[in-house]
Amino acid sequence: MELWHTHRLSVILAIFVTALFIRTYLRQPNSEREQQQPQQKAKEILRSTQDINQQQTEPVKGTEKSDDEKKVKTKQPSNGPRRIKGGVNKKLSRKDSNEGEAQSEEKATKIQTLVFFSSLTGNTEKTAKEFAQTLGNGLGTGSEGEGEKKDGAFLTPQVLDLAEIDYDDYFISPTKAAETLLEQNPEITGKIGLFYLFLVPSYNIDSMNDTLLEHLQETHHDFRIDTAPLSTILGYSVFGFGDRDGWPTEEEGYCFQAKELDKWMAKLTARKRAYPLGMGDWKRDGKERLAEWQAGLVDVLNVVEETGSLGDGVVGSGDAVESDDEVDDADDGEVVFEDGADSQAPKSKSSGSIEDVEDLGKIMAASRTDASDGKQPKAPIAIDFTTGGKVRKTAPTVTIKEMVPKNSPTYASLTKQGYSIVGSHSGVKICRWTKSALRGRGSCYKYSFYGINSHQCMETTPSLSCSNKCVFCWRHGTNPVGTTWRWVVDPPDLIFDGVKENHYKKIKMMRGVPGVRAERFAEAMRIRHCALSLVGEPIFYPHINEFLGMLHRERISSFLVCNAQHPDQLAALQHVTQLYVSIDASNRESLRRIDRPLHRDFWERFQRCLDILREKRFRQRTVFRLTLVKGFNVEDEAEGYADLVEKGLPCFVEVKGVTYCGTSTAGSAGLTMANVPFYQEVCDFVLALEKALLKRGLKYGIAAEHAHSCCILLASERFKVDGKWHTLIDYEKFFQLLEEKGPDGEFSPEDYMGPPTPEWATWGQGGFDPRDQRVDRKGRPIEA
């Protein structure tokens, strides 16, 4: 005990030091083991993968092959266990093995189109062979057997029977197919890009189509393979043959397998749909549709040859997931409002991030300054086109600014919202109905009422600026406002060429979007209508008549919407196909509250516009546009609106419920979803208005409806012939009259009245285009 007491300190110390040493010693190997374990695991995985590859993978390029293997494979698809060949995308070039990653970005020097087909009764086989030949001619590869054009990039199209090829070579590892081609064409030194085309009939009985579709599906879901193993090909497109006698609609199975194939190819190629899915009835329009599809493909292939890519928008625009969650971002201009957490009231924007003089806040500030303390507004020159002043083409000072300069927040905001800004004050954007019609999902109400194909309609404005700040304006706070034109004026031809170019560019970007119909896509490449109603005030633009002349010369109809604040411009306006005036309220106070006009004499301007419309009613096809906003301009206003109709005597009155588009900036104006009327409420209002009109002895009736967009049309009995409404327009006649009589010529709206309104569009029938399929927001079909 004594000994313990004497030495306990040194013993404890010794034990402690020993323990510390042992611990430190033991930790070292542990930490090493911790590091080594994953490496070890990775090595094991690698080893087992190599084993699998050795057992299952065909030799890759550079290893020996028999002559037979060098030929394009023509084996029967195997029914045995699935072999995995090549899980990683390889580059399709002779130099690939030596050069690094950058090589994959290399532009293909040669383009090989592969025309895959399936056929049970032989029609498609014959067609595919003919198709390949005419395609080759279109691409300049010469007739079959001649080989490719010397200086062109295209190789003679190859026709491949889906019943004979090895799917793994083409649908898991396209590298193999490209390598085989390189071996067959030793003179090619660069890279061969593959372009897949499919001609497939549909069969509701078991056929090789099912084998192919299953193979594609399995490949996509196989965890050992890249989900998009075909992303190295240049692009693909599918054309389906079907029979409308047995399968009249797509819902009933018309061309269903072509649609399926198109969908799986989108997934496997990571959305490289180069051209929309085409469909044709082999007994009826098959040949015609195929020729259209081919013409579109030749255009795309030429872009590929030139640029090495599919061009604007394609990769990424074709969402492989069939969804329909496109933002309802446009609905014919001025009737949609937005809301959202990131939204700001215009006032807060003006004092916050947006610092451009053209922005709402500062313009407002400038005009307020002008009004309240008598100082000059900051903008340099105020040319008041709204009071009949002559257009000043040249600026008296060099300080005149652009309305929407490229470096301004307004420009950034508008382009972010999908606008293309043309010049410095014009904009173009494709509306959601144009997209919807391209996909066969319905046109806007203007198709039902006036025969306008939405996919051939361009929505544009030559003036992004406006003199109102309507509470429901869907671009509230982003477009510039002002009572006078203070900006540089772009020439009309610059705007005309620019808006067309950008519209077509945007249409082309829809090429890869799922569901886009080849037929409609081809039609959309010819603009037939122009809705001058996007945002802003079109007649604010000093050269609006010249601009209209350009549209009409190209036989593009014009639907112009103005805000009833520019009477002199309205009076000076030449013929348009249809002339709208927004009637947003029935009395002064209500109009002030809802339109929030910048002009102090807004009510007088509004009244003058009605007088002008009345005078013009036998020269222009005039329309009152009423946008109903619950809590603002609906309740007890039917009588007031009837008075306005009595004053202006428009040809038509369009009544539309304000549209809610999911996200809204209208918080500042106090708008919520509760301000959106139900369709039944719109119907009730229209019935009340009709009654009020009859009470005044005015001959109007409810002519048509489009329940889908909450819109109803009242028409003057001038457009009722033999008991039938004739709200449609004879566009050809309109252009003919214009050519004969000139833009100020004497002709009336009745002179270009079209055939009767279709039965399905009349009051009580709903008005949905029977050619199309209605879908809900998730793209699921619903009853019309």
Ligand X SMILES: Cc1cc2nc3c(=O)[nH]c(=O)nc-3n(C[C@H](O)[C@H](O)[C@H](O)COP(=O)(O)O)c2cc1C
Q: Which positions lie near ligand X, rule CB under 6 A?
A: 119-125, 201-205, 241-243, 246-247, 253-256, 282
Q: Which is nearer to ligand SF4, 160 or 711 (CB)?
A: 711
Sign of CA dihedral 517, 523, 528, 534: positive
User: Per rule CB under 6 A, is residue 434 in the interface with ligand SF4?
Assistant: yes
Smallest distance from ligand SF4 to CB 559, Å: 6
User: Per rule CB under 6 A, is residue 457 in the interface with ligand SF4?
Assistant: yes
Partner in contact with 433, chosen from ligand X, ligand SF4, none, beta carbon below 5 to 8 Å by kind: ligand SF4
Query: Residue 726 and residue 703: Cα distance in Å, rounded?
Result: 8
Partner in contact with 112, chosen from ligand X, ligand SF4, none, beta carbon below 5 to 8 Å by kind: none
Smallest distance from ligand SF4 to CB 453, Å: 8
Which residue of 169, 226, 459, 690 would you call a contact of ligand SF4, by CB under 6 A?
A: 459
| N- to C-terminal Cα separation, the chain | 102
**Nearest C-alpha neighbor of 478 from the set 429, 435, 445, 444:** 429
Q: Looking at beta carbons, which residue is closest to ligand X? A: 242
Query: Residue 135 and residue 294: Cα distance in Å, rounded?
Result: 7
- Residues 307-346 contacting ligand SF4, CB under 6 A: 332
Query: Residue 646 and residue 643: Cα distance in Å, rounded?
Result: 5
Query: Residue 505 and residue 525: Cα distance in Å, rounded?
Result: 10
Smallest distance from ligand SF4 to CB 296, Å: 22
Partner in contact with 755, chosen from ligand SF4, ligand X, none, beta carbon below 5 to 8 Å by kind: none
Partner in contact with 201, chosen from ligand X, ligand SF4, none, beta carbon below 5 to 8 Å by kind: ligand X
Stretch that binds ligand SF4, among 6-14, 250-258, 426-434, 461-469 (CB under 6 A): 426-434
User: Per rule CB under 6 A, is residue 135 in the interface with ligand SF4?
Assistant: no
Smallest distance from ligand SF4 to CB 434, Å: 5
Partner in contact with 332, chosen from ligand X, ligand SF4, none, beta carbon below 5 to 8 Å by kind: ligand SF4
Residue 551 backbone phi and psi in degrees, to 5 = -60, -50
User: Per rule CB under 6 A, is residue 433 in the interface with ligand SF4?
Assistant: yes
Residue 111's CB is within 10 A of a number of other CB atoms, namely 24
Q: Which is nearer to ligand X, 124 or 420 (CB)?
A: 124
559 contacts 577 by C-beta, under 8 angstroms: yes
Tokens for 742, please give them: 């000139």
Stretch that binds ligand SF4, among 358-366, 400-408, 452-460, 479-487 (CB under 6 A): 452-460
Partner in contact with 446, chosen from ligand SF4, ligand X, none, beta carbon below 5 to 8 Å by kind: ligand SF4
Query: Residue 316 and residue 309: Cα distance in Å, rounded?
Result: 13
Query: Residue 33 and residue 567: Cα distance in Å, rounded?
Result: 86
Partner in contact with 431, chosen from ligand SF4, ligand X, none, beta carbon below 5 to 8 Å by kind: ligand SF4
User: Per rule CB under 6 A, is residue 466 in the interface with ligand SF4?
Assistant: no
Query: Residue 504 and residue 299: Cα distance in Å, rounded?
Result: 14
Partner in contact with 254, chosen from ligand SF4, ligand X, none, beta carbon below 5 to 8 Å by kind: ligand X
Partner in contact with 50, chosen from ligand SF4, ligand X, none, beta carbon below 5 to 8 Å by kind: none
Smallest distance from ligand X to CB 125, Å: 6
Query: Residue 685 and residue 688: Cα distance in Å, rounded?
Result: 5
- Residues 146-175 contacting ligand SF4, CB under 6 A: none
Phi-psi region of 6 (alpha: psi -120 to 50; beta: other; left: phi over 0): alpha
Tokens for 176, please give them: 């193999």
Tokens for 578, please give them: 């249809």
Q: Which is nearer to ligand SF4, 330 or 683 (CB)?
A: 330
Residue 488 backbone phi and psi in degrees, to 5 = -55, 140
Which residue of 279, 464, 513, 531 would you call a contact of ligand SF4, by CB under 6 A?
A: 531
Q: Which is nearer to ligand X, 194 or 197 (CB)?
A: 197
Smallest distance from ligand X to CB 219, Å: 24
Q: Give the residues across from 344 on adjacent strands.
A: none
Tokens for 470, please give them: 């309507």
Number of H helices, E strands in the chain: 23, 19
Q: Which is nearer to ligand X, 249 or 399 (CB)?
A: 249
User: Per rule CB under 6 A, is residue 441 in the interface with ligand SF4?
Assistant: no
DSSP 568-579: HHHHH----SEE
* Burial of residue 607 (number of CB atoms within 10 Å: 0-12, 13-18, 19+): middle
Partner in contact with 242, chosen from ligand X, ligand SF4, none, beta carbon below 5 to 8 Å by kind: ligand X
Residue 388's CB is within 10 A of a number of other CB atoms, namely 12
Partner in contact with 293, chosen from ligand SF4, ligand X, none, beta carbon below 5 to 8 Å by kind: none
Question: Which residues are at the interface with ligand SF4 (CB under 6 A)?
Answer: 332, 431, 433-434, 444, 446, 452, 454, 457, 459, 531
